[in-house]
């Protein structure tokens, strides 16, 4: 048994909520607890593997449909894929009025990818971690309690933050592309308070800058933390329900049914807010 | 919070996925959808057009049918008239012929009767003369009484 982790409820939960880590210490690759001192250069291999795997799954399915997409009568899979694409395209059309080749595929990627990652939340909480523990113990001679496997990438703040930062970079990029650097700076400094008196205006600039910067930076924060918080809490409740013995079955069912709504909704909200933020970044009128 | 290098990895993955989606997934799917929409719109327009054409053709066919019916009625009417005329002509011709034949026959009969009557009168006269001759053989001189006999013959 791993040091500092007893077979208690909190230990069990702790085990479930810990990512599999990988890092290099003194030139050699080490895992998990050995990485406690590695700081920033730690890789969550489970998050990376599951998220990239799911992303490739998404792109593989959609690409295989896109390759043989027929103009005539579509097959069932093509119908489904086109339905998703149409849904995303309709949302983008309604919200984003500029011309951009990037927004719609971006929204589609976010929607489907986040949905698939959230969907992992519906896999019973102990299945894959227990399987990973068994594999680790059988083939690598590891202590199963030292094998970590967190299968829902969106319960990892790194995942959601990466998405949010990606969107944030695009927001700034679009702002500068549409309004120019000067326009972007003006937007940050001359709103929401402005005055025709130049002296007053100059006095107002730091205040405006503070407000606008907070407004700007709060967007990626809210994106990342909303998704992370919802999924982390949902996962935690699954783990708690899973720890109460036989009575878990009806509770699991109820929570899972509710969670079906949550995972779709969170994926949709992330996509929608991305479109809205980018549309705000590309519009001139403040 | 537990931010670490995973974030960079995910950021790269995110970028790659979005770019892949933008290059290889979205355009063909959107093209297929839009092309199909166009195709369906064209098909609907064509069906509308065909419907209009059909109505037009039906109207035309109805008109033609009406014309044909009128024409047929006219032809029948003409034929009937001609038939009546032909019958009338034939009847007239037959009547005329009948009249001719009748007149001819009457004339022939008349001629025959006249001839027969003449013959008969002659024979009766001869007979009467012969009878009178026998009765009056001795007393009457043929030459003396010939005028009387002639008169008798005239009266028969």
Q: What is the mean pLDDT of each run of 10 residues along chain B (156 residues)?
A: 84 95 93 92 96 96 96 96 95 94 94 92 86 72 72 78
Q: To probe the interface with B, which of A88, A105, A167, A168 has the most B CB atoms within 10 Å?
A: A105
CA A89 to CA B77: how far, in whole Å?
Answer: 73
Considering the domain boundaries, does residue A22 fall inside one? Answer: no
Considering the domain boundaries, does residue A246 fall inside one? Answer: yes
Considering the domain boundaries, does residue A5 fall inside one? Answer: no
Mean pLDDT of all residues belonging to chain A? 87
CA A212 to CA A206: how far, in whole Å?
Answer: 10
Largest CA distance in chain B: 195
Q: What residues of chain A lie within 8 A of the CB of B1, using their CB?
A: 157
Rounded to 5°, angle at Cα B127 from B124 and B131: 135
> What is the ipTM, given to two decimal places?
0.88
Q: Cβ separation of B7 and A63 shorter than 8 Å?
A: no
Residues facing residue A22 across a β-bridge = A31, A43
Cα dihedral: A96, A99, A105, A108 (round 10):
20
Q: Are A278 and A174 in contact (CB under 8 A)?
A: yes
Q: What residues of chain B lie within 8 A of the CB of A89, using their CB?
A: 30
Which of A42, A43, A105 lies closest to B26 in CB terms?
A105
Q: Are A74 and A176 in contact (CB under 8 A)?
A: no
Considering the domain boundaries, does residue A172 fall inside one? Answer: yes
Which of A52, A66, A109 lies closest to B29 in CB terms?
A66
DSSP state of A96: -
Considering the domain boundaries, does residue A55 fall inside one? Answer: yes
Query: What Rg value do the Cα atoms of chain B yield, rounded?
Result: 61
Which of B10, B28, B39 lies closest to A66 in CB terms?
B28
Q: Cβ separation of B18 and A55 shorter than 8 Å?
A: no
Please name the residue of chain A whose CA is at the shortest distance from the CA of residue B14. Answer: A163
Q: Cβ separation of A48 and B13 shorter than 8 Å?
A: yes
Mean local confidence (pLDDT), A103-113: 95
Q: What residues of chain B lie within 8 A of the CB of A163, using their CB?
A: 10, 14
CA A269 to CA A276: how far, in whole Å?
Answer: 10
Q: What residues of chain B lie within 8 A of the CB of A116, using their CB?
A: none
Considering the domain boundaries, does residue A18 fall inside one? Answer: no
CA B20 to CA A57: how far, in whole Å?
Answer: 13
Per-residue pLDDT of A196-244, as tens digits, reads 888 888 888 888 899 999 999 999 999 999 999 999 999 999 888 888 8
Per-residue pLDDT of A134-161, as tens digits, reads 888 888 877 777 788 888 999 999 999 9
Q: How many CB pairs under 8 A join A and B?
A: 124
Domain span at residue A118 reads 47-135+154-282
Considering the domain boundaries, does residue A42 fall inside one? Answer: no
Task: Report helix, strand or coil for B145.
Answer: coil
- A180: which residues sit within 8 A by CB, 6+ positions away? none
CA A51 to CA A153: how far, in whole Å?
Answer: 6
Q: Are A23 and A41 in contact (CB under 8 A)?
A: yes
Domains in chain A, number? 1
Considering the domain boundaries, does residue A30 fall inside one? Answer: no
Task: Report helix, strand or coil for B144.
Answer: coil
CA B98 from centre of chain: 31
């Amino acid at each position: 048994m791993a040091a500092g982790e007893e077979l208690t409820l909190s230990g069990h939960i702790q085990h479930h909520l810990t990512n599999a880590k990988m890092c290099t210490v003194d030139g050699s690759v080490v895992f998990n607890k050995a990485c406690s001192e590695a700081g920033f250069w730690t890789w969550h291999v489970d998050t990376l593997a599951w998220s990239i795997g799911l992303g490739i799954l998404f792109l593989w399915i959609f690409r295989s449909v896109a390759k043989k997409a027929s103009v005539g009568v579509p097959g069932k899979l093509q119908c489904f894929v086109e339905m998703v694409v149409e849904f995303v395209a309709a949302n983008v059309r309604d919200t984003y009025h500029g011309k951009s080749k990037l927004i719609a595929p971006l929204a589609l990627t976010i929607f489907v990818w986040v949905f698939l990652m959230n969907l992992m939340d519906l896999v019973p909480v102990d299945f894959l971690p227990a399987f990973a523990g068994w594999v680790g113990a059988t083939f690598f001679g590891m202590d199963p309690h030292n094998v970590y496997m967190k299968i829902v990438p969106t319960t990892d703040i790194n995942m959601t933050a990466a998405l949010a930062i990606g969107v944030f970079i695009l927001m700034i990029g679009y702002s500068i592309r549409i309004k120019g650097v000067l326009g972007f700076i003006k937007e940050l400094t001359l709103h929401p308070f402005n005055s025709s008196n130049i002296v007053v205006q100059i006095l107002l600039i730091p205040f405006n800058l503070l407000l606008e910067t907070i407004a700007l930076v709060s967007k990626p924060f809210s994106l990342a933390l909303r998704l992370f918080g919802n999924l982390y809490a949902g996962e935690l409740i699954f783990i708690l329900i899973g720890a109460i013995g036989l009575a878990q079955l009806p509770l699991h069912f109820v929570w899972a049914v509710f969670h079906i709504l949550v995972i779709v909704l969170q994926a949709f909200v992330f996509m929608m807010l991305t479109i809205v933020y980018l549309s705000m970044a590309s519009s001139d009128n403040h | 919070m537990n931010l670490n290098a995973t974030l960079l990895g995910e950021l790269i993955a995110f970028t790659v996925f979005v770019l892949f989606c933008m290059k290889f997934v979205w355009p063909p799917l959107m093209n297929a959808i839009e092309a199909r929409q166009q195709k369906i719109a064209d098909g609907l327009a064509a069906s509308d057009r065909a419907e209009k054409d059909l109505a037009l053709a039906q109207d035309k066919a109805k008109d033609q049918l009406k014309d044909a019916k009128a024409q047929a009625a006219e032809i029948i009417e003409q034929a009937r008239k001609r038939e009546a005329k032909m019958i009338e002509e034939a009847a007239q011709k037959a009547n005329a012929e009948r009249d001719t034949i009748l007149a001819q026959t009457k004339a022939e009969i008349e001629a025959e009767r006249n001839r027969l009557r003449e013959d008969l009168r002659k024979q009766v006269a001869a007979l009467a003369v012969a009878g009178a001759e026998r009765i009056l053989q001795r007393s009457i001189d043929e030459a003396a009484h010939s005028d009387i006999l002639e008169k008798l013959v005239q009266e028969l």
